[in-house]
Structure 1
Amino acid sequence: MQTEQTNLPGGTAAIVVTYNRRALLVQCLERLLAQTLPLERIYVIDNASTDGTPDVIPDHERIEYLRLPDNLGGAYGFSRGVEHALAASHAYLWLMDDDCLPEPDAHLELLRHRDDSEVLCSAVVARDGRYDLHQRRSFDAVRLREFELPASSYEQPGAAVDLFTFVSVLLRTDVVRRAGLPVDDYFFMYDDSEYALRLLKLGITARLIPSSRVWHHGSAGSPSPRAPYNPLKHYYNTRNQLIVYRQYGTSAPWYLLRFSVKTAGAFIRLAQHRELNRRSASLAAQALRDALKGRPYVRQFAPS
């Protein structure tokens, strides 16, 4: 294995976006520093955390801490982190959230398959030990439907991935320069899907590498408990998904159908869970209006 590692290219920079989860960030950084194939650099992008995150950043020569003045969401954090990393001469960028816990060989296993694609995705393992299949999906551009990759895709490397989350994705730097920065005005939700489809439009197909495993604290397992109503997720999930579908869909009639279904669903789910009120209905309507206009921006939310 030592000979193989010596022959592998170096130059990978990890980009970790964090916000108010310092305990998880500490574990993530410990795992990154312990990779069997060492990383060249670890960039920590802090979205103006208020929980004392700066105090837990290790004083390590390979860690660079970048604190943003405001919290503009994970989308802005990844865009800013990628932009910052591109100023250096890294060969690869490895994107992840602060609640990702890579296994020791996760980086090594990705680079072992570097000839499979310019974009490689780790297998995401939920807290209950099962694969979180939703993290890697296929996409029907006509009917605007998403499908989780089947469990059988995790038995051999190389399954095509149309849609991925930024939960352990390795991108070759020259591809990033060609595709541009991730969108920075989605706040969160579907910014990574937009980037995956942008790459696909350029003829770049991401591949799943099951031997590279990352435990994800944010993946509760199956079945996942229903989260309480969150106005940010309610707004951004509705708006951003419809904007992405409009941009990368290939059938106007199917888009109109999906828009109608999303509109009905946005209000029906609120009613089902007894969360339909003037504020939530107004927020859903605004998300739909912004999606029709193709208008992504970082919305300011008043305290509840």
Structure 2
Amino acid sequence: MSDIEMSTAGTVAHTSSPMADAPGIPKLAIVVVTYKRQQLLAKLFDSFCTLTRTPWRIVIVDNEHSAETESMVADFARRTDGLWGVDAATPDAEGGVTRVVYAPQTDNLGGAGGFSAGVRRAWELGASWFWVMDDDVMVMPEGIERLEPWTHDHQVIQGSRLDSDGGAFYWQYRFIVSLGIPNPIAPAAFGPEGYRTMNTLCFEGGLFSRDVVAKIGLPDPRFFIYWDDTVYGYLASKVCEPIVVSDIILARTRDIPNWDIAGVRQLNGTSDMNRYHIMRNRGYMMKYFRAHGDYNRLLFGLGTAATFAKEIIRLLMVNRESLKTGVPSLIRGMRDARKIYRDATWEPMPPLGS
């Protein structure tokens, strides 16, 4: 997820995509990462059953490897058999026809590792498109048919979302690469085209093609949490033109404490674990930028200082009770980022080929 989450108040003026009644996205795999949030996962499963287009596969990555989640997935698979038929339209690369695929992990891999494992599993099955999301969202019934027209000309598409209160959710779709921070003033309006180009990605509803994965590889599990999707979108922008579209495809279902900024945008609360990874993972970000010739030590250092300052503001305004533990977490993350800077053995995620 991007460095700062913001929303706009009020209702959404939906701009319909062209060809809204087109068939579904071919060999679309929905990849869900979940960890100890069964109640939220149940809401997501319910929303899948309202889809007006049928996905080819739904891969559930369970970072908890929970018997409760496994049972939920089995029940969900039986529901989808009744809704969509017992057999999928086409067998997967392993000869299977089951639409719902359970992928338990032996360890908690975090969001980054979970999405890496889930995209890999869907890749192995032969998916052509990957629609990724956490367990704390629900899909719009028309989500697939709203995304489908954009796949004709684009390989990475980010749909719009509603916040947990039903208002529009503004996401920072432009990234200032030299500083390594999202652009906080990128225009929210989409214009008559219904989309804007972007150079980042959010694994909360991002859609990307097999061709992109072939060229840039799997999401990097080393991030564990934070900045993984940002960097994946940056890498995707090196091989195609990602877009964010006005069509609403998801709604968030988890309420997060936040600080309203002028009644228009908000700074969400977070945890010490997140704070640590926000700073530590700038080390991995720097490595990728340097590998692509986009690293400027001075400017990136300014971006790191700005990120640290923003987290201090977040602590003061949203999570004041965590101030004593939050600041040390930020400092520890910065120290570990320096270790990554100096790691001469580091290599980027390899492309997968066709």
TM band (smaller chain): 0.7 to 0.9
| Higher mean C-alpha deviation, range 279-288 or range 32-41 | 279-288
Identical pairs, percent:
23
Report if aligned partners of 1:32, 1:39 keep a CA contact under 8 Å in 2.
no
Deviation at 1:2, TM superposition (A): 11
What's the CA shift for 1:28?
1.2
**Off by >6 Å, runs of 4+ in structure 1:** none
Letter in 2 for 1:237: I
Query: Match of 2:168, SS?
Result: coil
Q: Which residue of 2 aligns with 1:227?
A: 269
TM-score scaled by length of structure 2: 0.73
What is the SS of the residue equivalent to 1:53?
A: helix
Task: Give matches, 1:37-52, under 5 Å.
Answer: 37-48=53-64, 50=66, 52=68
Change (3 A) 1:2 1:266: closer
Aligned residue for 1:173?
210
Q: Distance in 2 between matches of 1:155 and 1:53?
A: 43
1:150–1:269 distance in 2 versus 1, CA, 3 Å: closer
TM-superposed deviation, 1:261: 3.9
Which TM-score applies when normalising by structure 1?
0.84
In the alignment of these two chains, the number of paired residues is: 292
Q: What secondary structure is seen at the aligned counterpart in 1 of 2:222?
A: coil
> Which structure 2 residues correspond to residues 46-61 of structure 1 after superposition, within 5 A?
46-48=62-64, 50=66, 52-57=68-73, 58-60=76-78, 61=98
Contact 2:163 2:252 in 1 (8 A): yes
Q: Which runs of 5+ in 2 are unaligned?
A: 1-17, 79-97, 261-265, 347-354
Alpha-carbon offset, residue 201 of structure 1 = 2.5
Indicate conservation of the 8 Å contact 1:20/1:49, yes or no: no
- Matches of 2:175 and 2:153, distance apart in 1: 20
User: Hey, what's the Cα distance between the residues in 1 that align with 2:19 and 2:148?
Assistant: 14
CA–CA distance in structure 1, aligned partners of residues 19 and 159 of structure 2:
22
In structure 2, which of residues 103, 119, 130 is the aligned counterpart of residue 93 of structure 1? Answer: 130
Distance change in 2, residues 1:255/1:214 (3 Å):
same
Q: Does 1:208 align with 2:244?
A: yes
1:25 counterpart residue number: 41
Q: CA RMSD in A?
A: 3.0
Aligned residue runs from structure 1 range 139-178, under 5 A? 139-148=175-184, 149-153=186-190, 156-178=193-215
- Residue 5 of structure 2 aligns with which residue? none
Gapped regions of structure 1 (runs ≥ 5): 298-304
1:138 aligns with 2:156: no
CA distance in 1, matches of 2:69, 2:254: 19
Aligned 8 A contact 1:132 1:219 in 2: no
The answer to whether the Cα contact below 8 Å between 1:123 and 1:211 also exists between their aligned partners in 2 is yes
CA shift, 1:210, in A, is: 1.8
Shift of 1:245: 4.8
The CA distance in 1 between the partners of 2:31 and 2:194, in whole Å, is: 24
CA pair 69-114 structure 1, distance change in 2 beyond 3 A? same
For 1:5, the aligned partner's letter is A
* C-alpha contact (below 8 Å) 2:162/2:251 kept by paired residues: yes
Q: Structure 1 residues 197 and 226, CA, compared in 2 at 3 Å: closer, same or farther? A: closer
Counterparts of 1:96-135 in structure 2 under 5 Å?
Answer: 96-134=133-171
Cα 1:258/1:28, change in 2 over 3 Å: same
Residue identity opposite 2:108 in structure 1 = N
Tell me what 1:5 maps to.
22
CA distance in 1 between counterparts of 2:267 and 2:216 reads 36
Partner residue of 2:227 out of 176, 185, 190: 190
Shift of residue 123, structure 1, vs aligned partner: 0.3
1:251-290 mapped onto 2 (5 Å cutoff) = 251-263=296-308, 273=320, 275-277=322-324, 280-290=326-336
